[in-house]
Amino acid sequence: MSNLTEEFPSISSNDLKQYLREMLFIRRFEEQCNIAYRAGLAGGYMHTYIGMEALASGWINSIRKGYDYVITAYRDHAHALLLGTDAVAVMAEIIGRKGGTAGGKGGSMHIYDPENGFYGGWGIVGGHVPLGAGLAYAARYRNEDRVVLNFMGDGAANQGVVYETLNMASLYDLPCIFIVENNEFAMGTRLEYHAADPELWKRGQPYNMKCERVDGMDVIQMRKDAQRIIDWVRENQKPYWVEVMTYRYAGHGAADNDRQLYRTKEEEEVAWARDPIARLRKYLIENNIMSEEAIEAVEAETEAEALAVLEKAKESPFPDTDEVYDNIYTDMTPEKGH
Amino acid sequence: MPNMIELSYREALQKGIVEEMERDQNVFLMGEDIGRYQGTFKVTRGLVEKFGQRDNRYNLRILDTPITEAGFAGIATGAAMAGLRPIVEFMTMSFSILALDQIINHTAKIHYMTNGVVKCPIVFRGPGGAAKQLSAQHSHSMEGWYAHVPGLKVLAPSTPADVYGMMKSAVRDDNPVILYENPGLYAIKGMVPEDDAAFTVPIGKAAILREGKDISLVGYSRMTQINLEVAELLAKDGIDAEVVDVRSLLPLDTETIYASVKKTHRAVVVYEDWRSGGFGAEIAARIGEDCFDDLDAPVLRVGGLNVPMPYARNLELQCIPDADDVLAAVRKAF
């Protein structure tokens, strides 16, 4: 297999085919989530990754899967899928079933799979960021060479606890990569209305930390930048702050049904021109790596797979009512009854 | 019988920490000024020299943290998720208010939200309640706030032997545990097993510190010491009081509390926290619900005055329940 890039890291055409398949599957999976939500199968808050697929794909395909730790906020389906979590279990969790990753107790925002290195799945904006640094603390304490991918949104980049964490991560040399998924909106508030300085990449600088801004809409470039940064952190045992530019085509969550409150249709059309999947598709055809027909076949397959995942997840029963007290503690239950 | 040694509450607590750190390499300590400064209440005196190097920029086993409670509570929680067993000191429990989002929204819920996949073995400990003239922002009793939260365990030992044994049990527990220490207890002395590394005090068991047949004085932490004093005063008046030391708020040993009430038919619940909505109200409500037919008088509560803690010594003393306040309640019960 010839390498497409001479510089590090080498990315083979098979790798690119894999990225396309994964990104397509994530998008189709998220669309099925929306269908499930509209059908009343999923409830609560549900946030899809549509438009941001190249970002998580580039990073997670650059780590040692199952060894390195990954943690993120509530827009968490893609990270789990890329790490190898069973898609049916993820979907079953999203629709609150016994066969879900957390037995139906977590829901869309709380997907976990520590066996594959995934530590959630958290609902308080910025709240999980110190937990990610704590995972890095454990790695450092045990003299392992794991790194942590600590994802957050641009909204989280204003939270106080994030800066407490940056200070300590730098002070204690923690191998933690803070990745701001800058999709330009904190829920319905545009970046320039929530950030005094919208150049979020600068925000690690006061903590004596390497910082940069990279593009998250081109999976090839994302993959290269991610590998370079991950290798540096593993080698140097220091934290890193990265702002990744991306765009959220969907609303904030499934309940966000009027995007015109905070952006125009014209703006969305311009953003769609940067669609990371269309971009990779075009690259593969132009470079004769895949034919149009071959790509269409993958599109049809991933669509069918995502559909099958939802159907399979629906077969899982609801949790038993007597499970409600299970796993609050490892060794006891709280006082029972109303 | 193991050899016994007289230690202060502070020394007994440190003995428990040191033994667990020596037993298990995964146990480490973090908090503000616990290392080079030796701890604000000196619970960690000498530990940076014992487990690290004073001159190191940082010591991973005795970690001096910046004054950022939410951040270090979260880092400790993440480390526990990955298998370490942190002991986190809050300089005072009042400062743990800054970390409530981490402790309540993250630490306490991890095990449930992962349906049992991730464990979070961690101890948050520190002085709570009034010390001496620390006024409104440094005198909070936080134990009732934490005992409200499913997923946490909350301990409030009143004697050196109990704080020693409960500290050890807390570290060995696979769940997050809050160990609440009243600063008024650090200097009290008591007998502690000297060289019995296997000694622990179980979580979830109350203790009868004085047997009696006329009234149950139910309390925890420093209020148990007040209750012991009151029981001696009552004995002079011919009232035989039983002192129930709750020790563990969550889980709560209602069996021992109810057995005492069924014997004495009267109960006064004593707690330093604000009287309204404090944990003593929960204990009183449960006795009222479950022991109604055994009671010869209403369950009475003695709690702290419902005011922010004032600075002036006379006003501060007025706020904290003392023996006279408990005696007055006992008189109402007869």
Region B124-151: mean pLDDT is 96
| Residue B273, pLDDT score | 97
| Residue A118, pLDDT score | 98
Catalytic residues of B, by residue number, are: 69, 138
Q: Which of A4-8, B2-6, B115-119, B150-154 has the lowest mean pLDDT?
A: A4-8
On whether residue A311 sits in a domain, the answer given is yes
Chain B CB contacts of A171 under 8 Å are: 57-58, 66
Is residue A5 scored above 80 in pLDDT? no
Chain B contact for A141, CB < 8 A?
yes
pLDDT, tens digit (0-9, with 9 covering 90-100), for B167-185: 999 999 999 999 999 999 9
Region B96-114: mean pLDDT is 98
Region A208-223: mean pLDDT is 97
Chain B contact for A159, CB < 8 A?
no
Distance between CA atoms of A23 and A263, rounded to whole angstroms? 25
On whether residue A212 sits in a domain, the answer given is yes
pLDDT, tens digit (0-9, with 9 covering 90-100), for A34-79: 999 999 999 999 999 999 999 999 999 999 999 999 999 999 999 9
Closest CB to A164: pick one of B71, B114, B251: B71
Region B263-267: mean pLDDT is 98
Reported confidence tier of residue A8, pLDDT bands at 50, 70, 90:
low
Region B116-143: mean pLDDT is 96
Is residue A3 scored above 80 in pLDDT? no
Residue of B nearest to A174 (CA): B75
Domain residue limits at A124: 13-317
Would you say A233 and A175 are in contact if contact means Cβ atoms under 8 Å apart? Answer: yes
Distance between CA atoms of A147 and A136, rounded to whole angstroms? 7
Q: How far is A148 from chain B (nearest CA, A)?
A: 11
Average pLDDT, chain B: 97
Chain A contact for B289, CB < 8 A?
no
Query: Biggest alpha carbon distance in chain B?
Result: 64
Closest CB to A165: pick one of B71, B111, B204: B71
Distance between CA atoms of A79 and A109, rounded to whole angstroms? 12
Interface of A with B in 249-278 (CB under 8 A): none
**Domains: count for chain A:** 1
On whether residue A335 sits in a domain, the answer given is no
| Residue A6, pLDDT score | 55
Chain A CB contacts of B84 under 8 Å are: 137-138, 141
Report the CATH number at residue A52: 3.40.50.970
DSSP string, B285-331: HHHHHHSGGG-SS--EEEEE-SSPPPSSHHHHHHHS--HHHHHHHHH
Chain B contact for A6, CB < 8 A?
no
- What is the distance in angstroms between the CA of the first residue and the CA of the last residue of chain B? 41
Interface of A with B in 92-111 (CB under 8 A): 101-103, 105-106, 110
A174, A323, A329: best to mutate for the B interface, most B CBs within 10 A: A329
Is residue A7 scored above 80 in pLDDT? no
State the helix-helix crossing angle for B222-236 and B323-332, rounded to 10 degrees: 60
In a 3-state reduction of DSSP, which class is residue B210?
A: strand
On whether residue A327 sits in a domain, the answer given is no
Chain A contact for B76, CB < 8 A?
yes
Distance between CA atoms of A62 and A307, rounded to whole angstroms? 28
Closest CB to A164: pick one of B60, B68, B82: B68
A328, A331, A336: best to mutate for the B interface, most B CBs within 10 A: A328
Chain B contact for A235, CB < 8 A?
no
Determine, for residues B101 and A110 on separate chains, whether the beta-carbon distance falls below 8 Å.
Answer: no
Q: Which of A149-153, A268-272, B88-92, B263-267 has the lowest mean pLDDT?
A: A268-272
Is residue A4 scored above 60 in pLDDT? no
On whether residue A150 sits in a domain, the answer given is yes
Chain A contact for B255, CB < 8 A?
no
Reported confidence tier of residue A333, pLDDT bands at 50, 70, 90:
very high
* Percent of residues, chain A, with pLDDT higher than 90: 94
Reported confidence tier of residue A1, pLDDT bands at 50, 70, 90:
very low
| Residue A9, pLDDT score | 73
pLDDT, tens digit (0-9, with 9 covering 90-100), for B8-26: 999 999 999 999 999 999 9
Chain A contact for B186, CB < 8 A?
no
* Percent of residues, chain B, with pLDDT higher than 90: 98
On whether residue A330 sits in a domain, the answer given is no
> Which residue segments constitute the domains of chain B, with CATH numbers given?
4-193 (3.40.50.970), 207-332 (3.40.50.920)
Is residue B61 scored above 50 in pLDDT? yes
| Residue A178, pLDDT score | 98
Determine, for residues A164 and B66 on separate chains, whether the beta-carbon distance falls below 8 Å.
Answer: yes
Closest CB to A330: pick one of B28, B66, B175: B175
pLDDT, tens digit (0-9, with 9 covering 90-100), for A286-313: 999 999 999 999 999 999 999 999 999 9
pLDDT, tens digit (0-9, with 9 covering 90-100), for B240-263: 999 999 999 999 999 999 999 999
Give the residue among A1, A84, A316, A136 at the shortest CA–CA distance from B82: A136
Determine, for residues B78 and A326 on separate chains, whether the beta-carbon distance falls below 8 Å.
Answer: no
On whether residue A81 sits in a domain, the answer given is yes
Q: How far is A130 from chain B (nearest CA, A)?
A: 5
| Residue A251, pLDDT score | 87
On whether residue A329 sits in a domain, the answer given is no
Closest CB to A133: pick one of B78, B101, B106: B78
